[in-house]
Amino acid sequence: MHREIGARRSATVASVTITRAHLVLAAGIAGGALATALSTHVRIVLPFTPVPITLQTMVVLLCGAILGAGGGALSQIVFLALGTAGVATFAGGSLLGVTGGYLIGFVIAAALVGAVARRTESALAVGGTMLGASLLILGLGAAWLAQVNGLGVREALMVGVVPFLAGDAVKAAGALGAWRVGRLAWRRLAGDGERDD
């Protein structure tokens, strides 16, 4: 009886063993959150929209592709938590500011790209998902803008989507290129188990 209880305890302890892959993923999540926060400061203010151009979309897509669905989404949740706590800066001032819809879209987009990148090596599939995720971010951002500023659908699209389409396509291409270059190095660093998250 005592041996059986001891064996169960040993199995429980063994099941929560922290591996190198876990540590690397945790570091990647923290790094992704930090990179997203830093990319907020690379911005171009446009006179006809309250939403600035930043590098955040590219970082979000890359976080998803490298870290996977769970890790990518968690990196963005950590970023949102840091911003809400005042440690990081949001382009719209706060989570409930004019960029709130885009911020929520970051979490979903990172999860979406991560889910696809874990299942295929196809640059076409991952790149297409990145473009779709970028449109999702823009759509949520425009919907939020419409609610916060009382805009009609056309006006919300003109200030929240149209000005960013070309730039987001370029950022998606940049994220795809970085993923293709860095994915093998990331796997070696994290170990074989990294693809199974």
pLDDT in tens, 9-66: 554 544 568 888 888 889 999 999 999 999 998 889 989 888 999 999 999 999 999 9
- Using the predicted structure, report yes or no on whether residue 97 has a pLDDT greater than 70: yes
Please check whether residue 8 lies inside any domain of the structure: no
The end-to-end CA distance of the chain, in Å, is 36
Please check whether residue 3 lies inside any domain of the structure: no
Please check whether residue 116 lies inside any domain of the structure: yes
Q: CB count, 10 Å around CB of 88?
A: 19
The residues, any chain, with a CB within 8 Å of residue 69's CB and separated by 6 or more, are 110, 111, 112, 114, 115, 118
CATH number of the domain at 147, please: 1.10.1760.20
Please check whether residue 105 lies inside any domain of the structure: yes
Task: Taking residues 78-104, report their average pLDDT.
Answer: 88
| pLDDT at 194 (0 to 100) | 43
Share of the chain above pLDDT 70, in %: 89
Tell me the H-state helices in 2-122.
2-15, 20-39, 56-84, 100-117
**Domain interval for residue 49:** 19-196
Please check whether residue 155 lies inside any domain of the structure: yes
Number of domains in the chain: 1
Whole-prediction pTM: 0.85
Higher pLDDT, 112 or 192: 112
